[in-house]
């Protein structure tokens, strides 16, 4: 692999990570929107729209970084995994 190909790959990887992080920030919009003084009809469009855009952005980033990285990242966000890690450490002691 030449250095130019390696640079392009690392740029695509960094771009994919950036897109995934941005998609996570889009998930804050449905949480914040109900507390804004925007009309209800507009809120009803903003909330599902932001969820759809966030999902599209996540999967676009996942395509750029690769399947393994995306699955690892999703496992970090799974609340079921949070307790398992603590329980295994407790049982090992």
The more confidently predicted of residues 10 and 4 is 10
| Other Cβ atoms closer than 10 A to 38 | 13
Q: What is the pLDDT of residues 53-67, one digit of tens each?
A: 999 998 899 898 887
pLDDT band for 35, please (50, 70, 90 cuts). very high
pLDDT at 48: 96
Q: What is the pLDDT of residues 41-90, one digit of tens each?
A: 999 999 999 999 999 998 899 898 887 877 777 777 777 777 775 555 55
Domains of the chain by residue range: 10-78
pLDDT at 74: 75
| Distance in angstroms (rounded) separating the CA atoms of residues 13 and 66 | 8
**Contact (Cβ atoms closer than 8 angstroms) between residue 55 and residue 23:** yes
**Contact (Cβ atoms closer than 8 angstroms) between residue 19 and residue 65:** no
Residue with tokens 């804004």: 36
pLDDT at 72: 79
Helical H segments across the chain, by residue range: 3-26, 28-32, 40-65, 67-77, 79-92
């Amino acid at each position: 692999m030449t250095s130019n190909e390696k640079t392009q790959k690392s740029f695509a990887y960094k771009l994919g990570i950036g897109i995934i992080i941005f998609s996570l920030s889009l998930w804050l919009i449905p949480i914040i929107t109900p507390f804004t003084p925007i009309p209800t009809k507009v809120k009803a469009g903003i909330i599902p729209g932001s969820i759809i855009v966030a999902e599209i952005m996540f999967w676009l980033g996942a395509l750029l970084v690769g399947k393994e990285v995306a699955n690892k990242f999703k496992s970090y966000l799974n609340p079921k995994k949070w307790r398992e890690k603590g329980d295994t450490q407790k049982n090992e002691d």
